[in-house]
Amino acid sequence: MSIQTDSKRILRWGLINFYRNTVVSIASVLMMTVTLTVIGIVIFLNAVLGFSLAQIGSKVDVNVYFYPSVSEAQVLQVQQNLQQLPEVASVEYISEDQALSDFRTRHASDYLTLQALDELGANPLGATLNIRAKESGQYESIANTLDQNTSLSNGSTPIIEKVNYAQNKAIIERLTSIMRSVQTLGLAITAFFIVISILITFNTIRLAIYMSREEIATMRMVGAENKYIQGPFMTEGIVYGIVSAILTLVLFVPITYWLTGHTQAFFGGLSLFRYYGDNFFQFLAILLVAGILLGMISAWFAIRKYLRK
């Protein structure tokens, strides 16, 4: 018997098992659909959280304040050195005059502060460098580089008055902690549903094996190889996974469409529906692979336990 004929026969009997055990097949497909839905939700949560943290993170920075006596050339040299660091996304130079103008704008309603500033007769503010890191967890490394850099002085006199990393450290660490916590929680929930799905599919296929016990006994009596016994049930598990993945993909269309209005309002313009459309083939690949693996693993355990008797 050719390999092609063997494959057709195994596929045929796998599909027959799927349709013959309608009730238990539906139960397995529904449970596996729930599991794949949870996997998809975790992906969406990571996208939403990543987008939100990026929005918040874009407002978090580290400011380097220079003494008023420091020349513009020295500040620009520090800016150039910082831009060469792999952790740095951008470094914005704010001149003394711009710093003074920004200060006046921020305190436009504070008459006493502006009056005191005018009485000084000179600009008390130095230039500033506004540093943005590529990731929130990299600000500490940048701050340490600033502390350890011996070129940030004019002879024995330091040129940097203050670095405000310590003030923003709590916010930066909180952002990083939230991201890690949500990812860990998502993985834990996904693992839980994967175990439940495997157990249900395992028992479903065990039931299918039990219902086909007489056929299997006959096949053994005539010397059928294990692949002819195992193949249809492995195929059945794979079909469970494929059908569940397709159902999950279809379900996400109305769900993401309905949630889009809420996510745009609460998460700074993120459209889940558009995100799903842009990444549809990625979702297709992930859910199909996850569904097929779940079905195959469940079937393999069920068949292995049966054939060992």
For 56, 84, 277, the CA distances from 259, given in Å and listed in that order, are 21, 42, 14
- What's the pLDDT score for residue 193? 75
pLDDT greater than 70 at residue 269: no
| Complete edge-to-edge strand list for the sheet that includes strand 88-94 | 88-94, 128-133, 62-66, 160-163
Helix or strand (DSSP H, E) at 132: strand 128-133
- The contacts of residue 172 (CB under 8 Å, 6+ apart) are 60, 136, 137, 139, 140
Tell how strand 62-66 and strand 128-133 pair up: antiparallel
| Mean pLDDT (whole number) for 93-112 | 79
Helix (H, G, I), strand (E, B) or coil at 266: helix
- The contacts of residue 288 (CB under 8 Å, 6+ apart) are 241, 242, 245
8 A C-beta contact, residue 46 and residue 275 = no
Q: How confident is the model at residue 1 (pLDDT cuts 50, 70, 90)?
A: very low
- What's the pLDDT score for residue 229? 67
For the chain, percent of residues with pLDDT exceeding 90 = 5
Nearest of 168, 205, 170, 169 to residue 305 by alpha carbon: 205
Burial grade of 226 (CB within 10 A; 0-12, 13-18, 19 or more): exposed
Q: How confident is the model at residue 251 (pLDDT cuts 50, 70, 90)?
A: very high
Q: How confident is the model at residue 2 (pLDDT cuts 50, 70, 90)?
A: very low
8 A C-beta contact, residue 301 and residue 202 = yes
Q: How confident is the model at residue 275 (pLDDT cuts 50, 70, 90)?
A: confident
pLDDT greater than 90 at residue 214: no
Nearest of 293, 120, 266 to residue 194 by alpha carbon: 293
The predicted-structure confidence for 149-162, as pLDDT tens digits, reads as follows 645 555 556 778 77
Q: How confident is the model at residue 247 (pLDDT cuts 50, 70, 90)?
A: very high
- What's the pLDDT score for residue 76? 86
For 1, 19, 115, the CA distances from 227, given in Å and listed in that order, are 13, 21, 90
Helix (H, G, I), strand (E, B) or coil at 110: coil
The Cα 144–Cα 174 span in angstroms is 19
Domains and CATH numbers, the chain: 3-56+174-307 (no CATH), 68-158 (3.30.70)
